[in-house]
Amino acid sequence: MQKFDVVIVGGGVVGCAIARELSRYKIKVALVEKEVELGTGTSKANTGLIHSGVNVDSSTIKGRLSLEANPIFDRLTSQLNIPFKRNGSLVVAQSREDRQALLHSLEEAKANGIREVKWLEREELIQKEPAINPDALGAIYAPSGGIICPFEFTLALGQNAHSNGVEFFLGTQVQKLLVEKGRVAGVETDKGIIWSSFVVNAAGELADEIGYEIKNEGITIKSRRGQYLVYDREYPVRVNHTLFPRPTQVSKGIIVTPTVHGNLMVGPNAEEVPGKNALETTEAGIKEVIEGARKLVPKIDTSAVIRMFSGLRAVADSDFIISPAQKTGGLVLAVGIQSPGLTAAPKIGELVTELLGDMGLELNAKTDFQEERLSLKNLGEMNWDGRASLVEKDGDYGQVICRCEGITRGEIRDAILSPLGAVTIDGIKRRTRAASGRCQSGFCGPRLVELLQEFAGISPLEASLRGAGTQILKYRSKELLLKAGEEIADL
Ligand SMILES: Cc1cc2nc3c(=O)[nH]c(=O)nc-3n(C[C@H](O)[C@H](O)[C@H](O)COP(=O)(O)OP(=O)(O)OC[C@H]3O[C@@H](n4cnc5c(N)ncnc54)[C@H](O)[C@@H]3O)c2cc1C
């Protein structure tokens, strides 16, 4: 019977960052994720910002960890081989009252050591960001603010942990904790028991549903939804920086930002929703987002929106909860990780590792830990000569499957065959950008279904958008005709 030192529940950015950090040591680690792909919870549906730390309270865990994490992203993203851009953030004053409050925030930001943070008066602001509302009364400028693809970040952390020995149980749902004499002994899943000396709960929005022990800690998680609009890459209204309004009590407000892949994105609003999984977008929510975005950039309209989506903040407290459980030995909580959890994730990984060490887990460093993650080929980043020589060696890189984004059969094949490879259409999309362009898979969708069959052996009737219950095809057309024939014959 296999026994692990640590089982991590949840394969979002937090679980994957913890897994990568633990993979530096000579211990046996497993990560259990209920979905068939990593990063399909909140970690795929957020603004993708690496926050500068302006307007964070450094006395909170979330404030401290995100301030510590921001500077490490240049090195980390180069190790993980993923795109990252320090495009800089602007927190814009839209009234005299805002200006007063933001000048105060600027002093706090300086005291928190945020690099090169400064105030821009209106003229400087318009020069820096020509699309900005000309009525703006200045802004805090923080060059260290950045943008990242949240899904690629999560996946890269997971793949790097995997190549350093962490075992992944995907499509496996933890049903309860196994507790013996007041201490965890593992987890019971829908696929059987996984024994372990320590368990880390990093299950995001669902972290309070894993069993009695979590409720016993007095933890309840509420969902706060945020809705977004994403624009076509050719949309002429553009911004270079991430534009924030003055934050509210509960959120950083409705933001206008470029994504790291060059789309304009606006959102999120902040709305309490009853129950979990309330991921729909609503007319009222989208209206609120557009109105908020127009206050910052008046020219924004809805003419080139290619996608709407929403994400759910897991709110347990006003701060993150990262601590050993009080009432169950061997259990560590990394829950209520709302914003800026994406930014803080690498430091959450370090903190959880430290806590496990304090709880008695022996942490002897490996000498062969691989910090670098090999990335897949990305033809969009290559020059024409590089592409031509690649195509000469391997014709799959010459066959374009997604016309909007120019993604080839070779890139999609690699995404499916790589470690922890894609097994769904969304999985291919998030790894390669196929299906993320203007037509939103209208053209390449059927080809992606075929490629999942060819390289992953997934039959077209099983191929899904994002796992169980989202299958794309219902019948083979002849079966449908036969069935219709039978029904007619029965009449
Ligand atoms: C609207 C919005 C905007 C945001 N913007 C930013 C931003 O710009 N910058 C930033 O730093 N942060 C941002 N955040 C916060 C950030 O997205 C989150 O802090 C982070 O993604 C949380 O990651 P997680 O791993 O805790 O949760 P998740 O990504 O939700 O991962 C939890 C995982 O656990 C799995 N799971 C649940 N139950 C079980 C079970 N029983 N068994 C097995 N697996 C299970 C789920 O399937 C899921 O994959 C934003 C959040 C939202 C909602």
pLDDT of residue 482: 77
Pair 400, 407: CB distance under 8 Å: yes
Nearest-5° angle of CA 415, CA 419, CA 425? 35
Closest CA to 23 of 38, 51, 4: 4
Query: By the 8 A CB rule, do 33 and 10 touch?
Result: yes
Q: State the pLDDT at residue 484.
A: 74
From atom 26 of ligand 1, which residue's Cα is the shortest distance away?
204
Ligand 1 center–CA 489 separation, angstroms: 52
- Report which protein residue has its CA nearest ligand 1's atom 15: 339
Tell me if the pTM is above 0.75. yes
Query: Which domains does the chain possess?
Result: 1-81+148-221+316-375 (3.50.50.60), 89-143+223-304 (3.30.9.10), 377-491 (no CATH)
- Is 162 catalytic? The answer is no
Q: State which ligand 1 atom lies nearest to the alpha carbon of 205.
A: 30
Q: How far is the CA of 337 from the centre of ligand 1 (A)?
A: 7
Q: Of ligand 1's atoms, which has the minimum distance to the CA of residue 270?
A: 1
Count of residues making up the chain? 491
> CB within 6 Å of ligand 1 — which residues?
9-15, 32-35, 40-43, 46-49, 51, 173-174, 202-206, 210, 226, 268, 311-313, 337-343
CA distances from 241 to 100, 238, 286, 422 (A): 22, 9, 22, 32
Q: How much is the pLDDT for 213?
A: 82
User: For residue 118, how far is its CA from the centre of ligand 1 (angstroms)?
Assistant: 31
Burial class (CB in 10 A: 0-12, 13-18, 19+), 338: buried
pLDDT at 487: 72
- Ligand 1 centre distance from Cα of residue 201 (Å): 12
Neighbours of 218 (CB within 10 A): 10
Name the active-site residue from 51, 104, 241, 261: 51
Residue nearest atom 2 in ligand 1 by C-alpha distance:
46
Task: Give the pLDDT of residue 491.
Answer: 62
**pLDDT computed for residue 466 by the predictor:** 92
pLDDT of residue 215: 84
CA-closest candidate to residue 267, choices 41, 43, 94, 47: 47
Distance from the alpha carbon of residue 15 to the mean position of ligand 1, in angstroms: 9
Q: Quick one: pLDDT at residue 440?
A: 86
Atom of ligand 1 nearest to the CA of 35: 47
The tens digit of pLDDT for each residue in 214-262 reads 888 999 999 999 999 999 999 999 999 999 999 987 789 999 999 999 9
Name residues of the chain where pLDDT drops below 50.
none
